[in-house]
Amino acid sequence: MTRERVYNRRMGDLLITDVRLLDPATGLDAPGELLVRDGLILDHGASLGRPDGATVVAGGGACLAPGLVDLRAALGEPGAEHRETIASAAQAAAAGGITTLCALPDTDPPLDDPALIQFVIRRGEATGCVTILPYGAATAGCAGKEMSEFGLLREAGAIAFTDGARAIGSARTMRLALSYARAFGSFVVQHPEEPSLAAGGAATEGERATRMGLPGIPRAAEAMMIARDIALARITKGHVHFAHVSTAEALDLIRAAKAEGLKVTCDTAPPYFDLNETAIGEYRTYAKLSPPLRDEADRLAVIAALKDGTIDAIASDHQPRDADDKRLPFAQAEAGGAGLATLLGVTLARVHGGDLTLLAGLDLLSAKPAKLLGIEGGTLRKGAPADLVLFHPERGWRVEAGRLPGKAQNTPFDGRALEGKVLGTWKAGRQVFAA
């Protein structure tokens, strides 16, 4: 109701012409044009005519697709506005073609109170360019001990439940969380890393970490947590979603759980299929992430899981940090990378590399995450919200820290040349970004 009040104001028709229409939800891939009326997609096809008074945008042969749905992004607000605000994150999201964004709850204070859930939703609406769907904290204060009030948080608008970048370490607590979430028609998102094994680590355990003198995190820390939570999903019949999965062993476990018919889903993020642990060479703190970058075999396993459907979505995993967080010795620097503006471009690198078709890549960025969340989005269906991204899949650009939209500049892709540039983004038919 609130979203309609903000976005679906009466406005003139919008006609976007001379585009390649891409709808991952239906498999549409054809030249044509698209007509928007009152914030909704009215029609699309080869030739729609020219409605009186319509604003006409010439697409120049670029691709027009549903706006991206980002399953996982941390926002500085509330509590760390020096790193990122909701307004600056919305700016970066629009520049990246993202029109819906799921915000993590491990803020300061954490989103464990209905009033805070509503605050984040309202701040997102106030930007006018992105729908923000906040996760509710699975435990009070994201501390992993006492359960949050799932019913009240869900009623206030929490899309699902998680402790964000903190793993729910207690098996008993995770079992309760899965049971409660199931009762409220929702799911739990887990940061899959066994806390006692990961504590104090800075890089993936192995030869590189040893040579660099860095404390290691064993790859098994991810698989161990995933194996435990799959067992808990089997017991509770609840739905567990694993975030930023990064290892072959973990993906094998998820693949088997899906084959068993359990309610298990997962996402990954661009660093885990575009970079490997060599990116931390020279103690490059922009490439210090959580989970840490893996070896080349794991990177290839993530790509294989994108191709075979084991991975359900690609999320930005946006984690804003300021210069002081990163200008420290590698072991002491904060983990995390900015990912909103680069989400589409880095995913398209896998399209250009022949690992994914263009529709399959867009499906992982829009239709599949929308379906997982149970929201409208990820489609050009007639009557759907006109959340749209116009991009040229082959136009090149270079990622430069310090010149990205938004406050957060801590990108692990600094210096990376990409093909695939966002030219325009529309939220409910209103243009919110133009290159």
| Bridge partners for 58 per DSSP | 17
pTM over 0.75: yes
- Per DSSP, which regions of 91-246 are E strands? 98-103, 131-134, 136-137, 161-162, 188-190, 203-204, 216-217, 240-242
pLDDT the model gives residue 229 = 98
pLDDT band with cut points at 50, 70 and 90 for residue 49: confident
SS3 state at 384:
coil
CA gap 229, 150 in Å, rounded: 19
Whether 2-64+385-434 and 67-373 share one fold: the answer is: no
Digit-coded pLDDT (tens) for 169-214: 999 999 999 999 999 999 999 999 999 999 999 999 999 999 999 9
- Asked if pLDDT for residue 298 goes beyond 80, the answer is yes
Digit-coded pLDDT (tens) for 253-283: 999 999 999 999 999 999 999 999 999 999 9
CB under 8 Å to 64, separation ≥6 — which residues? 16, 19, 20, 21, 22, 34, 380, 388, 389, 390
Digit-coded pLDDT (tens) for 75-102: 999 999 999 999 999 999 999 999 999 9
Do the Cβ atoms of 190 and 162 come closer than 8 Å? yes
The amino acid at 434: A
**CATH match of 2-64+385-434 with 1.10.3720.10:** no
CA gap 183, 180 in Å, rounded: 5
317, 363, 387, 414: which one is catalytic? 317
SS (H, E, C) 99-135: EEEEECCCCCCCCCCHHHHHHHHHHHHHHCCCEEEEC
| Bridge partners for 36 per DSSP | 14, 41
Whether residue 215 has a cis bond before it, omega within 30° of 0 = no
- Give the helix/strand (H/E) hosting 175: helix 171-183
Residue 317 falls in the annotated catalytic set? yes
Domain boundaries, given as residue ranges, for the chain:
2-64+385-434, 67-373
Q: Could you identify the residue written with the tokens 């990622």? A: 399
- Asked if pLDDT for residue 9 goes beyond 80, the answer is no
- Asked if pLDDT for residue 289 goes beyond 60, the answer is yes
CA gap 150, 375 in Å, rounded: 19
SS3 state at 34:
strand
Residue length of the chain: 435
pLDDT the model gives residue 2 = 36
Tokens of 24: 């991952």
CB under 8 Å to 287, separation ≥6 — which residues? 271, 275, 279, 280, 293, 337, 412
Digit-coded pLDDT (tens) for 353-387: 999 999 999 999 999 999 999 999 999 999 999 99
Which CATH number among 2.60.120.380, 3.90.1150.10, 3.20.20.140, 3.40.30.10 corresponds to the domain 67-373?
3.20.20.140
Nearest to 222 by CA among 202, 243, 241, 194: 194
